[in-house]
A and B are shown apart, each in its own frame.
Chain A
Amino acid sequence: MDFELSEDQVLLQESVTRFVADNYSFEQRRKLVDTDQGYSDKQWSQFAELGWLGMPFAEDVGGYGGTPVETMVVLEEFGKGLVAEPYISTIVLGGGALVHGGTAAQQQELIPQVAEGNLKLALGFAERQSRYNLADVQTKAEKSGVDYVLSGMKSVVFGAPTANKFIVSARTGGAARDEGGISLFLVDADASGVSVRGYPTVDGMRAGEVTLDGVKVGADALMGAEGEGFGALETTIDYAIAATAAEAVGAMSALNDMTLEYIKTREQFGQPIGKFQVLQHRMVDMFIAHEEAKSMAMMAAMRIDDEDPNERRKAASATKVQIAKSARFVGQQAIQLHGGIGMTDEYAAGHYFKRLTMIDRSYGDGDYHLARFGAVS
């Protein structure tokens, strides 16, 4: 057993920490997320140069062969600064779908472009009626000669406004909510019939509603075998759960640091409010919540690539359940302990709280994953 980072992983961590310290002060982030695009192209290129965009991909497709542990390291540091670049949507979701579901040709063609920072991806997997069930797909893909014609709508697609390509789930067969009959397709953002209604999300990130109105794609847009895309999609989302767990852990750690500092310095009734035992115990509970979340993010990083799908599912769902509990508690109590200033947009705590809340709203909330864990274990 060894829970320490390797030397290379420590170096990676240090470089991400430095990037966040230099570029993601609260004021810098606020300016950035208030721009139209919501993130910086320059920083995205920097990610490419530093090797972070190619990190999780195999070396033979232009990546650096990183494991989920490297992803954890990067995202935990990102979480501390609430990094707004579309890393999760392009690398974890889009890149993940390519890795788990793409053909060799698709990987060879696209992953190098992703790693170089020239291609942004977004994964459309949720729909208006689906909630968190990945198999609840109504978007249709109908065969038309050798091509497919896609019609439907994908909801709250993270990173949609600036994605160059979408990967979407669509039904080529099977009944409503069947896992069989779901296929994954690559769709150019500028293909005819694709429209994106982009918007900011409450945590300052960007997402969009992606409408597919008779979008024609060739057979080479199909990822893997027709009707067998569900497994790749589910795996990708489980990896995303592991990655966002690390991001949440980073955000909780920053939020706890900020709150601890605040209660040590804020004075009421002639003493720091941190002297009141009720707040001390609350802060201890927040500390415990972060430790518990950290344990599970580490577990997920080490277990998410388990060959046995049920082990992977259990790892992802157990992690998400704990992240939901911890993120909720830490977020809510950080606001409470700050009092009035915690409620303001001009103070950092609320922004961490909001990101943590939205992580809970993504890939299944705590209740959803408790049920899923129960079903597979």
Chain B
Amino acid sequence: MDMTFTPAEQAFRREVQAFVAENLPAPIARKVADGVEMTRDDMSTWMQILAKQGWLATNWEQKDGGPGWSTAQKHIFEEECAAAGAPDIIPFGTRMVGPVLLAFGTPEQKAKYLPGIVSGEMLWCQGYSEPGAGSDLAQLQLSAKLDGDEYVVNGTKIWTTQAHMADMIFVLARTDNSGRKQDGVTCLLIDMKAPGVTVRPIITIDGRHRFNQEFFDDVRVPVADRVGEAGDGWRIAKYLLGHERSNAAGVAGAVRMLKKLRAIAKAERAEGETLMQDQDFRRTLADVETRLEVLRMTAMRNLARASADKPVGAEASVVKLGMAEIRKDISELSMQAGAYYANPFDPKAIREGWGNQQPIGADYIFKLAPDYFEMRARSIAGGSNEIQKNIIAKRTLGL
């Protein structure tokens, strides 16, 4: 057993570090550090910088326009990007639609959509959830009826992250109501500017605009934009779940949050000393730090399995569950560090930073409570903690 990376992998790490240090625009890095809302421009700028280097579609083979990296390289890349404070890549294009098109798309679809995905110019969002279909996704009702060589789409999708910035949405729609629910689901690619698509922003409890509800009112979608056959939607969705994202970015993100928390604890005063000198605080911090070590090691074990082409199933859920909890806890501890200054709420500062305004309290404090509120979504989005546990219970433990 050996938990070090090979010399080649270590050299690769240095290469990534150097690239990010040189190319990540300072204003974007500052926004990430301050937790200020990213605009579509910020996102595209960074994605296109990576794309030019050929490093955007990190999980793709070279023949498809990706770098053809090993699992370890992908892990290192995500770790270094997060550590350097690069914004998270919008996953919907390169990590979701892209792989789906590579596996199931027609040559025409590939030609039409893959270049925009690899270059980062075309932004996507994921339309799975509906008001009546969350954990029970198969219950989805967005209706797509065939009319000549077009589908006529009616209904709604909800909680769609970044739909307000996206050019395209890939949806799971219902084309058949007769048999098993899963068998009537079809995957469609819909232009967000198509007539009949409207987007309603939904503001979250932290005061930010992250997700939306979309209404589809007789939206006409060419059959050419159907992925796979009618009724293949569920199989495609499952294929994507099988291509579960690596946890590296999550672990590195938590490390970054922790680093920030330490800085806050060193700056905040308590009883004439720094908060960091407070015994109780240090114990709580140490507890979180040791838990993060556990997660990091568990993620490494998954990485080793994946590198050896062994299946990573419930093990990935173990890390997802742990990540959700630890990120929630770090954000809670950060808010606790702010004491009374967790109270002030300035939505404009949260979106745009303080600018020329004098901050209320220290400049890092004002968004600690909103971040804590936002983090609650970690155990809801992308399969809630309860659903993850149901899956482990059923698939792994045979209950």
Q: CB within 8 Å of B: which residues of A? A: 126, 128-129, 131-133, 136, 155-156, 176-177, 197, 199-203, 207, 209, 267-270, 273, 276, 278-279, 332, 335-336, 339-340, 342-346, 350-351, 353-354, 357-358, 361-362, 365, 367, 371
Q: Is B346 an interface residue (CB 8 A)?
A: yes
The secondary structure that dominates the B interface is mixed
Is A344's CB under 8 angstroms from B346's CB?
no
**A-B interface, 10 closest residue pairs, ranked by CB to CB distance from nearest:** A350-B205, A268-B136, A129-B269, A156-B340, A201-B343, A202-B345, A345-B203, A340-B159, A131-B339, A361-B342
Whether A340 contacts B134 in the complex (CB less than 8 A), given A332-B376, A335-B376, comes out as yes
**Given A202-B342, A336-B379, A353-B373, also A345-B207 (CB < 8 A):** yes
Binds A, one of B63-71, B98-106, B252-260, B380-388: B380-388
Contact B280 A279 (CB under 8 A): no
Choose from B129, B203, B268, B338 the contact partner of A340 (Cβ within 8 Å). Answer: B129
Q: A279 to chain B: which residues have CB within 8 Å?
A: 386
Given A128-B361, A136-B272, A336-B380, residue A268 in contact with residue B205 (CB < 8 A):
no
Cβ of B184 within 8 Å of any chain A Cβ, yes or no, is no
CB contacts (< 8 Å) of B342 on chain A: these are: 202, 357-358, 361
Residues of the B chain whose Cβ atoms lie less than 8 Å from the Cβ of A129: 269, 272
A354 with B335: CB separation less than 8 A: no
Cα-based distance from A339 to B382 in the complex (angstroms): 11
- Which one of B271, B272, B377 contacts A343 once the chains associate, using CB atoms below 8 Å? B377
- Name B205's contact: one of A126, A200, A278, A343 (CB within 8 Å): A343
Which of chain A's residues have a CB closer than 8 A to the CB of B204?
343-345
Residues of B within 8 A of A131 (CB): 268-271, 275, 339-340
| B11: A residues at CB distance < 8 A | none
In the complex, B216 has a CB within 8 A of chain A? no
Most buried by A among B129, B139, B344: B344
**DSSP majority for the A interface?**
mixed
How distant is the Cα of A365 from the Cα of B139 in the complex, in angstroms? 43
Interface residue B353 (Cβ < 8 Å from any Cβ of A): no
Scan B365-385; emit 1 where CB is below 8 A from any A CB, else 0. Answer: 000011011001101110011
Cross-chain contact B343 with A361 (CB below 8 angstroms): yes
- Which B residues, 126 to 145, have Cβ-Cβ distances below 8 Å to chain A? 129, 132, 134-136, 139
Q: Please tell me if the beta carbons of A202 and B343 are within 8 angstroms of each other in the complex.
A: yes
Instruction: Given A268-B134, A268-B135, answer yes or no on A209-B384 (Cβ-Cβ < 8 Å).
Output: no
A202 touches B370 (CB 8 A): yes
Interchain CA distance A133-B72 in the complex, whole Å: 49
One of B340, B360, B385 near A336 (C-beta < 8 A): B385
The complex places the Cα of A269 from the Cα of B135 at a distance, in Å, of 8
Can you list 15 A-B contacts with CB-CB less than 8 angstroms, sorted by A residue number?
Answer: A131-B271, A155-B341, A156-B344, A203-B343, A267-B132, A276-B386, A336-B379, A340-B134, A342-B376, A343-B380, A345-B207, A353-B205, A357-B335, A361-B340, A367-B281
B158 on interface, CB distance cutoff 8 Å: yes
State in angstroms the CA–CA spacing of A131 and B377 once bound together. 29
Q: For the complex, give the distance between the alpha carbons of A51 and B369 in Å.
A: 36
Contact between B340 and A126, CB atoms less than 8 A apart: yes
| Other A-B pairs, 19, CB within 8 Å; known A156-B341, A344-B202, A358-B342 | A131-B271, A132-B340, A156-B361, A177-B271, A199-B360, A207-B343, A269-B136, A278-B389, A336-B380, A340-B159, A340-B380, A343-B377, A344-B204, A345-B205, A354-B369, A358-B369, A365-B339, A367-B280, A371-B280
Q: B83 to chain A: closest CB distance in Å?
A: 28
Q: State the CA gap A197–B369 with chains docked (Å).
A: 20
In the assembled complex, the Cα of A279 lies from the Cα of B381 at a distance in Å of 17
In the assembled complex, B336 has its CB within 8 A of some CB on chain A: yes
Interface residues of B in 324-372 (CB under 8 A from A): 335-336, 338-346, 360-361, 369-370, 372
> Hey, which chain A residues are within 8 Å of B271, CB to CB?
131, 133, 136, 177
Bound form: Cα–Cα A197–B349 in Å: 15
| B343→A268 contact, CB < 8 A | no
Considering the complex, give the chain A residue whose CB is closest to the CB of B393: A278
Interface residues of B in 298-340 (CB under 8 A from A): 335-336, 338-340
Nearest chain A residue, comparing its CB with the CB of B137: A268
Residues in A whose Cβ lies below 8 Å from that of B159: 340
A48 to B20, CA, bound (A): 62
Give complex CA distance A371, B284 in Å: 14
Minimum CB–CB distance for B56 against chain A, Å? 29
B282 to chain A, nearest CB (A): 12
Nearest residue in B to A202 (C-beta to C-beta)?
B345
Q: Which residues of A contact B370 (CB under 8 A)?
A: 202
* The one of B335, B343, B346 that contacts A156, using a Cβ cutoff of 8 Å: B343
B272 touches A177 (CB 8 A): yes
**Is there contact, CB below 8 Å, between A132 and B339?**
yes
Q: Indicate if the CB atoms of A199 and B344 lie closer than 8 Å.
A: yes
- State whether A336 touches B384 (Cβ < 8 A): yes
Chain B residues, Cβ within 8 Å of A199: 344-346, 360
Cα A96 to Cα B221 in complex, Å, equals 67
Quick one: closest A residue to B271, CB to CB? A133
When chains A and B are docked, how far (Å) is the Cα of A201 from the Cα of B270? 23
Contact residue among B341, B360, B369, B379 (Cβ-Cβ distance under 8 Å from A357): B369
